A and B are shown apart, each in its own frame.
Chain A
Amino acid sequence: MNEIKLEKIDDNRWLVPQTGLMRVPGIIYANEKIYDLLKNDESAKQVANVAHLPGIVNYSLAMPDIHWGYGFPIGGVAAFDLDDGVVSPGGVGYDINCGCRLMATELTLADIKDKVKDLTTALYQRIPSGVGSTGYVKLSGKDQKKVLEDGAGWAVKTGFGSANDLETTEDGGCISGADPEQVSKRALERGKQQLGTLGSGNHFLEIEVVQEIFDEKVAQAFGLRKDQIVVMIHTGSRGLGYQICDDYLALMVKHQAETGIALPDRQLACTYLASGRGRNYLAAMACGANYAWANRQILMHLTQDVIEKTLRIAPRELGMRLVYDVCHNIAKIELFNIGGVEKKLCVHRKGATRAYPAGHEAVPARYRSVGQPVLIPGDMGTGSYVLVGQEKAMQETFGSACHGAGRVMSRTQAVKTSRGRSISRELADQGVLVMAGSKGTLNEEMPEAYKNLNDVVQVVHDAGIARKVARLKTIACIKG
């Protein structure tokens, strides 16, 4: 952890003291177990680095899935004042609106037990995945503009899914203010080919079964019950998002000196939210976010079609329904109570999930009495968690919780560790069928490369920012 000395606040929080040019202190959500893992990399220093940025409010935060990223740590949350604060493309990440979508079905494990292989093969064949895969939908320039402006709404209008799906998508599947004019030709070109693709790396589609319910009332509100089959999709804005981030990052690095903001790391390049460049980035970022929502909406539709055809069942029998769709790489203008005053802030969530509590108007009407579903995927062997946002998140973390397990092993380490082993066979022994485009990806993504999801989620639960609702066990996983 180098020179950073963390001070224990309570069982689930560590303070990064304000030193040097830091404008605010930092807080890392971690218990003793996770604190031990922090010693292996420089992520705590990255929390401190973010605290150097102008206009940062209260604290530079990190969730328990924190790990060493570039610039911001992964698992980082930071909110900035709209008048004198900044926006940083690196604080959103390259994969703009990378996120998760959870779909419930009327099927139980018994219904598909003998057909898991057929289903997985069919999904693997139909859902474009892997590097360089081209999409289910080919876009004309005019259509692409609409995708960037309308997000998931465009997909629904075009025949992918139903309007109900938009109700349970964060922000209705569209961030307003998207302006395709602020997106480069390169980004547009990359986006044309990739709508309706899963991608590679840690992106996936999983068939999961509800293994344990922690909160019956909330699970019922989310439409989840034990032994139910659900599908989780994890992907984002593909090459279009990467290119938008890359373009704006380069632009901000080039003009950093003009802003007069000194940075401890070039990757934190940023500009004032109130500046033209800041507004242009947010308008381009919204395009990336909307593209990602359209992408996940199309993939959901495709998944539904594959399952119905493979099992030869009618839509009503499958009963596929969107539980929720969250983004975990984003910067958004949201309203918070800061010292008794309602204030609009720009919240950066880089590998963090929104976790709004019951009663908040941004929570879909059907969940408003319990709170927003928080979707936390883990490694391939473990599965995922569904949590529900709590009031404490509004007070402490700008309405945010963790987004996954977080890596502990570098990719090269994982490849070394997996040498001589068959990760797919090991997973099969645990009842997880995996189909991946490349063995390399599978080895890099081996379960041991991640923190224990149970530990990460326990911190969020114990800290009171989101509560456990259900645990999902992976039974099949497709990857690029």
Chain B
Amino acid sequence: MALYKLIDHTADLGMEVTGRTKRELFTKAVLSLMDIVVERKETGAGVKEKALTVEGSDSADLLINFLREILYLFNGEALIIGTCKITKCGNKKLDARLLLEPYNKKKHVIKTEIKAVTYHGLSVERIKNGWRARIIFDV
């Protein structure tokens, strides 16, 4: 099954992600964002580990703040997420361990420039078999 579904939005780009648990939902959202931005070919070069703690006022805010951090790692520090393991996942706080690989122009093809993760049309909700999130990016 595909990691995510693209949502049509006139000026921008959105994604819909589902997960059996909130932890799975957040992990898939991170990998989906990365997949929209860049072809995630693992080269094994210069991989490093990073611990990340994110806070938010509710689940939706927490997810947005998490994705903002991931996007900054790419846009600001040229790092691509290899794996993402959420070790603790609360309603207002999460801890994650990331394996990061430096972006290499020759090896990674950039697919879309995402300027930002927006709050517009944002939802994180319970569905029958788990959780669903909808997020719109500014591209």
Query: Which A residues are within 8 Å of any B CB, using their own CB?
Result: 40-41, 43, 67-71, 74, 90, 93-95, 130-132, 186, 189-190, 199-201, 239, 242-243, 245-246, 249-250, 253-254, 265-267, 269, 407-413, 438, 440, 480
Contacts and interface: CB of A to CB of B under 8 A. Distances in A.
B116 interface: yes
Interface in B54-74: 57, 61, 65, 68, 72
Interface string B51-93: 0000001000100010010001001101000000000000000
B134 to A, nearest CB: 13
A68 B118 CA distance: 14
Given A131-B113, A200-B113, A250-B65, A265 B10 contact: no
A67 B119 contact: no
Given A74-B11, A189-B76, A266 B115 contact: no
A329 to B, nearest CB: 11
Q: List the 9 closest pairs (A to B, CB-CB), nearest first.
A: A70-B120, A266-B119, A267-B120, A68-B10, A410-B8, A131-B113, A70-B118, A267-B119, A131-B110
Contact of B113 (A199, A249, A408): A199
Given A407-B11, A408-B10, A409-B10, A95 B115 contact: yes
Given A67-B11, A253-B119, A239 B76 contact: yes
Contact of B116 (A41, A246, A253): A246
For the residues of B in contact with A, the DSSP-based class is loop
Interface of B: 6, 8-13, 57, 61, 65, 68, 72, 75-76, 78, 103, 105, 110-113, 115-122, 136, 138-139
Given A132-B103, A239-B76, A265 B110 contact: no
Given A201-B113, A267-B120, 6 more contacts: A67-B11, A70-B119, A131-B110, A246-B68, A411-B12, A438-B110
Nearest to B139: A201
7 contacts: A69-B11, A70-B138, A130-B110, A186-B72, A190-B75, A407-B11, A480-B113
A250 B8 contact: no
Nearest to A246: B116
Nearest to A249: B119
Given A239-B76, A250-B68, A253-B61, A411 B121 contact: no
A76 B70 CA distance: 30
A243 B76 contact: yes
A408 B9 CA distance: 10
Contact of B9 (A132, A249, A410, A440): A410
A266 B8 contact: no
Contacts of A265: 119-121
Contact of A242 (B11, B78, B115): B115
B73 to A, nearest CB: 11
